[in-house]
Amino acid sequence: MFIIKCPFCGEREQSEFKAGGEAHIIRPKQPTELSDDQWAEYLFMRKNIKGIQFERWNHVHGCRKWFNVVRDTSNDEIKAVYKMGEKPPVQ
């Protein structure tokens, strides 16, 4: 079980959080103008990397805020935590 540092509440047990999949996928502003393939790219295609992954997490049993996490999936080390809308502090 990891310890995640919520940007609003501080360090908490993983059980307080809910994972929300890959981060930085922006909902298209004009979906009606996209082809099926472009829409499918947004809707379905997700990375599943062994290594550094950018993820969304929700402090669902805490402040209910969504935020971003940079996690190394090979050893679960969390490299950085940052708020929605902010640029990732590591590449």
Partner 1 sequence: MTKNLRVKIGKTIDETYRISFKFNGSTYYGFKGDTLASALLANNIHLVGRSFKYHRPRGIMTAGSEEPNAIVQLHDNSSRTEPNVRATEIEIYEDLEASSQNCWPSVNFDVGGINNILSPLLPAGFYYKTFMWPASFWEKYEYFIRRSAGLGKSPTKPDPDIYEHEYIHCDVLIIGAGISGIIAAKIAAKKGLKTLLVDEKPNLGGSTIYQNSDHFKINNQNSGSWLEKEINEIKKLKNLEIRTRTSVAAYHGYNFLLARENLTDHLPIDQRKDKTRHKLLKIRANKVITATGSIERPMIFDNNDRPGILLSSAIKKYADYFGVACGEKNILFTNNDSAYETAISLIQKGINIEAIIDNREEINSKLIYEVEKSNIKVFKGFTIVNTNGYKRINKVSLMKLSKDGQKVIGSKINLSCDCLGISGGWTPAVHLFTQSGGKLKFREKDQVFIPNKYSSDQISIGSCNGDLTLEDIIKNTPKYLREFLNLKKTDYDNTEVFSSENQSKRNIWLLPSDKILGKTKSFVDYQNDATAKDIKLALREGFRSIEHVKRYTTTGMGTDQGKLGNMHALGIISETAGAKMGELGTTTFRPPYTPLTFGTIVGRNVGEYFDAFRKTPIHDWHVDNKADFENVGQWKRAWYYPKDNEDMNQAVQRESKAARESAGILDASTLGKIDIQGTDASEFLNRVYTNAWSKLAIGKCRYGLMLNEDGMVYDDGVTTRLGENHYIMTTTTGGAANVMGKLEDYLQTEWPELDVYLTSVTDHYATVSVCGPNSKKIISKVIPNLDLTDENFPHMSFKNVNIGKINCRVMRISFTGEHSYEINVQANYGKSVWEKCMQAGKDYNITPYGTEAMHLLRAEKGFIIVGQDTDATMTPIDLQMNWIVSKKKYDFIGKRSLYRSDTSREDRKQLVGLLTDNPDEVLEEGAQIVANVNKSPIEMLGHVTSSYYSPNLKKSIALGVVKGGKNMMGQKLIIPMEKKNINVTVSDPVFLDKENKRLNA
Residues that bind partner 1 (CB under 8 A): 1-3, 18, 20, 26-27, 30-32, 34, 36, 39-40, 43, 56, 58, 60, 64-66, 75-76, 84-85
Under a CB-based contact definition with an 8 Å cutoff, are residues 14 and 61 in contact? no
Work out how close the CB of 89 gets to partner 1 at its nearest, in angstroms, rounded to a whole number.
18
Residue 65 or 79: which CB sits closer to partner 1?
Answer: 65
Residues 6+ positions from 67 with CB-CB distance below 8 Å: 6, 7, 8, 56, 57, 58, 59, 81, 82, 83, 84
The secondary element (H helix, E strand) that includes residue 56 is strand 52-58
Residue 29 or 47: which CB sits closer to partner 1?
Answer: 29
Work out how close the CB of 67 gets to partner 1 at its nearest, in angstroms, rounded to a whole number.
9
